Amino acid sequence: MNEFILARVVHVLSVVLWIGGVAMVTTVLLPTLTRMQSPSEAMTFFASFRRRFAAQARYTTLLVGLSGFYMVYVLDAWHRFAAWQYWWMHTMVFIWVVFSVMLFVVEPRARRRQSQSSMPVQNVSVDAFVKIQRMHWILLSLSLITVAGAVAGSHGWLLSGG
């Protein structure tokens, strides 16, 4: 069972790094960028920052997925996905899939498209940052609800019926 404890430690630490990073980007970085004088300079800085953070987020989401799958396998907890009292298990997988698609598919494609374009980032509107920030707030909110539900649920606080 030591492997299970290690998997849980890896899972929790990876979630802290991943969702904590999303929180920092959402609550600190993006508001700072929207206040910059030049939207194109802000977008250039954001693109540079995002590349570094995306690498960390890729590793941590990969560890979250592997350790989560391992724990469900070891506990033989597949039945929880059929019970609505374990709603947080579904949202954990949903959040993980959304971020994984963003990090491993959407973001690399966007970066490739931008690098193939010889035009530098220009004519970026403040609206672009507003949309990015809105998306981050939605994802962060869903992530925090999921974390709260997972902590409560894994300690026995289930919705009625459990």
Q: What is the pLDDT of residues 11-66, one digit of tens each?
A: 999 999 999 999 999 999 988 888 888 877 888 888 888 888 889 999 999 999 99
- In terms of residues, how long is the chain? 162
92 φ/ψ angles, rounded to the nearest 5 degrees: -60, -45
Name the least confident of 10-24, 112-126, 138-152: 112-126
The two three-digit tokens of residue 126, written as one number: 């403040």
Domain coordinates in residue numbering, the chain: 2-116+124-154
Model pTM score: 0.87
Confidence of residue 116 (pLDDT cuts 50, 70, 90): confident
Provide CB contacts within 8 A for 72, sequence distance 6+: 78, 80, 89
Q: 29, 49 in Cβ contact below 8 A?
A: yes
pLDDT tens digits, one per residue of 78-111: 999 999 999 999 999 999 999 999 999 998 888 7
CA distance 44 to 24: 18
Give the number of other CB atoms < 10 A from CB of residue 29: 19
CA distance 156 to 73: 19
pLDDT of residue 44: 82
Which among 104, 135, 96, 108 has a CA at the least distance from the CA of 14? 96
Q: Evaluate if residue 119 carries a pLDDT over 70.
A: no
> At 85, which helix (H) or strand (E)?
none
CA distance 71 to 48: 35
> Which DSSP string corresponds to 94-144?
HHHHHHHHIIIIIHHHHHHHHHHS-SPS-S--HHHHHHHHHHHHHHHHHHH
